[in-house]
Structure 1
Amino acid sequence: MKDDNLGDSLEYTTGAEAMGDGLSRARTSFGKQPVLGILALVASMALSIGIIGLLDAELFATWVTFFVVICVPVHIVISMAWELNYPSFSRKLKQPLKGAFFMALMLLVAAAIAVTVHYAQPIHAGPPTPFVLMYVIFCVLVTFWFVIVWNCWPLSSLLDNRLLLGLGILAVAYGGGYGLFTLLFDFDAMSAAPFYSAAMDPGGAFPAFHVLAYSVTTVSVVFFCLLFDFWPITLFPILRAQPLMGLVSTIYILGLSAAVYWMGVEWLDMEPVKLMVNVSIGFLFGSLIPLIMFEGKLFGNLRQPWKGIAQCAVAVIAAVTLPSIYWELAPLVSGPLNSGAPGYQYEFWMASALLAMTFPIMVVVGKFLDFWPLRFAPIR
């Protein structure tokens, strides 16, 4: 596992291709990109909206969001660190059994983490509050930073064991995430809210909504860099190895994120939460379309930065069009929701629908199931 570039795993390589087992691919039109990705995206969105429609709005906003957010670091470990090849016996599994196995493993590990997080709180009665919801969301952001930007360094240089590396990633996500959460997040501005508890407030350095919005913005910039394969940083061979690449990338990403955040909040006078949902989460979700649904193959004949520009165009189109579908459907599937302060019901519903529900489903469809049954449909 040493020196692996884990970030490359988001540019999808199928399990059969990675193992070189010679499994033949279907040659039907809907088994090829971009039709395959479009059909899988439609199915993922429809399944996500259908599940949300079956849930009570409060249940979805609390317990369900809490659990599915915790699933995200686990599926990052399974799909990016383990590359669907660990445990070793899973390499011999065929679809859809392989996908079902990894989905069950993800749910089992996420359930153990959810129970631990819930009962580790100073107060753990009732549905998850914004304190714990923001914490688990922040842990997802830490996971993306650690895996994509830092390629799991220094763990990746110390550990050859896939199991230990995966557990190490989760330890960094929730242990390191907790440390940063207590240092950064302050909920004093919400002290009049019914959910507020002084025992739960870490009393960090910055207002919680501002920290969360900026942190999400940094991850959207991470995915922007991923679309460009971290060009122009990778132009310089000396910067391609950790920890120097992680350090330079961190400075680059934080600087771009600060510029985006300043333009949105100060120049355009946007509320931090609305900037986070409408701009940062919108683009982050849009970037998943070329990376996961289209497997990074749409513009494989182009070199950087032209490939990144083309993928970015697809991501922007997706970021503009797809969230609008959710926006229109939200009142139909979850009833009336209030937009804006103080509760931001509409905004947090959108964030949960896009990244907490649809993103994991896209990973299950595109990674765990390897687009089964579309890719493996028989030739007629």
Structure 2
Amino acid sequence: MHNKNNSDVLLQQPAQRLSLGNQPFLGGVGLGCVIVLSLALIGCFSGAFFATWVTFFVVCCVPVQIVLAMLWRGQYPGWLKQLAQPWRGLALVAMSLAGGALIASLVFFTQAREVGPPTPFTLMYVIFCVLLSFWLVIIWECWPLSRLLRHPLALGLATLLVAYLLGYRLFAWLFDFSAMAGAPFYRAELDPQGLAPAFEILAFAVTTVGVTFACVLLGFWPLGSRLQGLQPWAGLARSALVLGLSAALYLGATRLLGIAAVPFMVHGAIALLFGCLVPLLAFEGELFGRLAQPLRGLLQLLVALLAGAVLPRLYWVAGPWLSGPMSAGAVDYAHEFWLASALLAMTFPVLVAFSQFFDFWPLRRR
């Protein structure tokens, strides 16, 4: 994961990838198509069904997408290389759905204890595992698994296993839902009663991934390429950088400015994370490509902040029209959680599929 283009740090492309001569027009049109398709898919479900079963299933598909796009680079299994679009994209989508169905079934019959519709206990757990997957792949480059396992199948499956098993241990250790004991969904046997309030832990975890994507845009400047391939030192240095920036951002917003954890997570951390996906995935890291770091990254980050400010607002306005009236703010934050699901449990996977699996087909043809 050490190519020149900063988008390749997130989602690597095959070495023989052809020149991208049609950005940024391609990215703008593609992003518009993804947003329209995502909103149309959301509108196919009732608000309650989308916020529970749909979100649960699609979130379980995301770690599989991470393995297919970031670890296997769409090149494994080998027969994928022989497929033209759209068949290659359809095959990768089918693999994502099949893997997500298996993971969702295992989580539902173990961690969720067959309680449905999925409760915040289960939804937060699978979201946390997605965030942990990004940490394993981007920050730690799958170390030490990458040293022990050379076969892509073994490495991919082991990464998924570690994400969910380690995620389970951290979830049990960190998350405390006791403040929600009076809520209709609350079940004492599902509450791990960890070290800190669940919303605080989840909000900070989302912040770290948003900051990670921002660091990807910057090429992890000022660390840059000095530590590339030098694990575990690269992972330790990146972790320190991301955690330090995240702590400053999160504590500054929630403690100094007094913003509650959930509104900050949705309108701050998730907006930053989603915004960073625009230059990374939609525009394939091609924006300002002639400039050196950190200037290139700062300008891309500016685009990300603009996208993170504008696009979530579009979804916020569309929410009641698509899924019916929703209350905003405390106590249940229904509108906020709908927005989080719409951005990260629908639009993000669709954007990954369109840009990485289908390679912008049919807008771009090889």
Question: What TM-score does the superposition give when structure 2 sets the normalisation length?
Answer: 0.96
Structure 2: stretches of 5+ with no match in the other structure: none
The equivalent residue for 1:94 is: 84
Identity fraction in percent: 49
Task: Select 1:58's aligned residue among 48, 55, 59.
Answer: 48
**Aligned partner of 1:303 among 292, 299, 311:** 292
Where 2:189 maps in the other structure, the secondary structure is coil
Matched, 1:362 2:351: yes
Distance 2:112 2:230 in 1: 41
After TM superposition, list the pairs within 5 Å mapping 1:227-266 onto structure 2. 227-234=217-224, 237-238=226-227, 241-266=230-255
Confirm or deny: 8 A CA contact 2:7 2:281 kept in the other structure. no
Q: Distance in 2 between matches of 1:69 and 1:12?
A: 18
Give the 5 Å matches for 1:1-380.
4-5=1-2, 9-10=8-9, 14-15=13-14, 18-19=15-16, 32-121=22-111, 123-234=113-224, 237-238=226-227, 241-376=230-365
Task: For 2:38 and 2:227, locate their aligned partners in 1 and report how far apart those are by CA, in whole Å.
Answer: 43
Q: Which residue identity does 1:343 align to in structure 2? A: D
| Structure 2: distance between partners of 1:239 and 1:104 | 33
- Measure, in 2, the Cα distance between the counterparts of 1:149 and 1:121: 27
3-state DSSP class of the match of 1:233?
A: coil
1:99-147: CA deviations, max 9, x gaps? 0000000000110010000001363132000000000000000000000
Deviation of residue 274 (structure 1)?
A: 0.3
Question: Quick one: distance in 1 between partners of 2:75 and 2:19?
Answer: 19
DSSP-derived class of the 2:150 partner: coil
Cα distance between partner residues in 1 of 2:324 and 2:197? 30
Deviations 1:235-265 (A, max 9, x none): 6x35751110100111111111111011111
Residues 246-302 of structure 1, C-alpha deviation per residue, up to 9 Å, x if partnerless? 001111111111110111111111010000000100010000000000000111101
1:24 CA drift (Å): 8.7
How far is the alpha carbon of 1:158 from its aligned partner?
A: 1.5
Are the counterparts in 2 of residues 11 and 295 from structure 1 also a CA contact under 8 Å?
no
- Higher-RCO chain (CA-CA 8 Å, sequence separation at least 6): 1
Whether the aligned pair in 2 keeps the contact of 1:14 and 1:370 (CA below 8 Å) is no
SS at match of 1:144: helix
TM-score (norm 1): 0.92
Q: Is the 8 A contact 1:5 1:151 kept in 2?
A: no
Letter in 1 for 2:29: L
Gap change, CA 1:182 and 1:330, over 3 Å in 2: same
- SS of residue matched to 2:224: helix
Give the distance between the partners of 1:356 and 1:248, measured in 2 at CA.
30
Q: CA deviation at 1:372?
A: 0.2
Q: CA RMSD in A?
A: 1.7
Check whether the contact 2:206–2:270 (CA below 8 A) recurs between aligned residues: yes
Cα–Cα, structure 1 residues 153 and 49, in superposed 2: closer, same or farther, change >3 Å? same
Structure 1 gaps, min length 5: none
Amino acid of the residue matched to residue 297 of structure 1?
Answer: E
Aligned-pair distance for 1:172? 1.3
The answer to whether the 8 A contact 2:12-2:70 is kept is no
- Paired letter, 1:209: F
Structure 2 distance, partners of 1:345, 1:99, is 34
CA distance in 1, matches of 2:212, 2:47: 31
Q: For residue 5 of structure 1, report the CA deviation from its aligned partner.
A: 4.4
Tell me how many residue pairs correspond in the alignment: 364
Native 8 Å contact 1:189 1:207 kept in 2: yes
Deviations 1:175-208 (A, max 9, x none): 1100100000000000001111111001110000
Distance 1:259 1:275 in 2: 13
